[in-house]
Amino acid sequence: MVFERIIQGVKPMDEVMVIGIAGGTGSGKTTITKKLMQRFGGDVSVIYHDNYYKAHHDMSYEERAKLKYDHPDSFDTDLLIQAVRDLKAGRSVLCPVYDYTIHDRSDKVIEVKPARVIIVEGILIFQSRELCRQMDIKLFVDTDADVRILRRILRDVKERGRSLESVVTQYLTTVKPMHEMYVEPSKRSADIIIPEGGHNQVAMEMVMERVKAHIDRFK
């Protein structure tokens, strides 16, 4: 079978589709990712830019909390690029795991296996030209700022153990300025801009059909 050649590392370039999903914090990127995973199962693997935040083990929690995590330099994007290349070549990768509760990379890793479709998700993935060159489709999720901040507050307080005050302070001092400086301009690199993310049924149907056509091509 065609995909067996991918697993063995012998792969024409068009046998793996790489989809980049970018957009501001709380925009709905993960909703799209989850819907694609639910629809296509094992034909999709996901790698998150967030897991490639640089480690800061030498800093205190208070120092790490003040870092600008929405700045391109906060990420080890070169390591992510190499991971995407490995996945495209049919090789599994060990992905670092970022721990939001301590603002630092943990000592854990997760295995990401090659698949016919690789999703790369993150707020700043379109900032790197080389990473963009690895992608076949680039989606930017465009959602109003007031909706995004509300979603971020709910997520960070419920899932990441943050206080309401810390979330609002971080948003106003670093997240919002970095979004305007880096995230928003990066949507010019997108092939498709999706308002409201996974709740946009027309856009989701178009993306689903494109992915299905690619997967069916190599069955």
Give the CATH number, domain containing residue 71.
Answer: 3.40.50.300
In the block, residue with structure tokens 């995909």 = 3
Residue 214 lies in a domain: no
Both tokens assigned to 189: 């690199």
Residue 212 lies in a domain: no
Tens-digit pLDDT profile for residues 77-106 = 999 999 999 999 999 999 999 987 887 789
The answer to whether the CB of 20 falls within 8 A of the CB of 125 is yes
Instruction: Assign 16 a pLDDT band (cuts: 50, 70, 90).
Output: very high
Distance CA 190, CA 188 (A): 5
pTM of the predicted model as reported, rounded to 2 decimal places: 0.84
Both tokens assigned to 155: 């997520």
Cβ neighbours of 62 (radius 10 Å): 8
Tens-digit pLDDT profile for residues 149-190 = 777 777 777 777 777 787 777 777 777 878 888 988 999 999
Please give the tally of structural domains in the chain: 1
Distance CA 212, CA 36 (A): 10
Question: Three-state SS for 90?
Answer: coil
Which of the 8 DSSP states describes residue 103?
A: T
**If you average pLDDT over every residue of the chain, what do you get?**
86
Tens-digit pLDDT profile for residues 39-67 = 999 999 999 999 999 988 888 888 887 77
Distance CA 180, CA 199 (A): 24
Residue 55 lies in a domain: yes
Cβ neighbours of 59 (radius 10 Å): 14
Domain of 141?
A: 2-202
